[in-house]
Amino acid sequence: MRNGHPALRLAATLTASLTASLSVHGADLPRAPYLPLATAQALANAALERCAADGYAVSAAVVDAAGVTRALLRADHAGPHTLESSRRKAFTSASLGRPTAELAELIKRMPEVAGLRDMHPSILILGGGLPLRVGGERLGGIGVGGAPGGDLDQACAQAAIAQVLGPP
C-alpha cells in the first residue's frame, strides 16, 4: 500500500480534489419522498380486505424504495409461504419498477432472460407485485401472495393502490 502503483497515487490525488469540492450541507442534499407507515399499513390492509372479499386468505407486504419492509400482514389460514412470497413480490416490483406479472411474461417470451430470477435472494417473478409511485416518484412496492393465481393476487394489490393512493 505504501509503495503504491502510480495509478493508485493518482486516484488518491483526484479523490482529494474531488472531496474538497463536495463539502455537503443539508440544504444541498437531494430528497426523496417516502410512504408513512400509516399509508403502507393501509395498503396492506386494503389488499387483504379485497382478497378476503374474493374469498382468499393471503399475506400482503409493502416495502419502501430501498426494498425494506414497512408492513407485512398474514391473514388467518394463509399458508406460511405467503409471508415470503408477498414480500419478495413487493421487493421485486419496488426494485425493478415493474409489475411482477409483466416480468413473468417477459421470461416466457424470452427464455434467455430467465436469469432474472437469480439476481438477488429477494427476487420473485410471479404475478402479484406492483410498484408504488405517486406523481412519478418511486415509493416502493406492494406484493400479495396466497390466492390461487397471480392475477388474483395482483387484483388485490391493484385494488389497494386504487383505494389508498388514488388514480395514477
CB of 106 to a copy of itself, least distance (A): 10
At residue 60, the 3 state secondary structure works out as strand
How many residues interact with a copy of itself (rule CB under 8 A)? 108
Do 51 and 61 touch, CB atoms closer than 8 A? no
- The mark string for 71-110 relative to a copy of itself (x by CB under 8 A, - otherwise) is xxxxxxx-xxxxxxx--x--xx-xxxx--xx--xx-xx--
In sequence order, which residues have a C-beta less than 8 Å from that of residue 145 and are 6 or more positions away?
58, 59, 81, 82, 83, 85, 86, 89, 128, 153
SS3 125: coil
Determine the length of the chain.
168
Of positions 90, 111, 153, 158, contacts a copy of itself by CB under 8 A: 111
Which of 90, 124, 130, 152 is close enough to bind a copy of itself by CB under 8 A?
124
Residue 39 sits in the site that holds a copy of itself (CB under 8 A): yes
- Quick note: the x/- pattern for a copy of itself over 40-59, rule CB under 8 A, is -xxx-xx-xx--x--xxx--
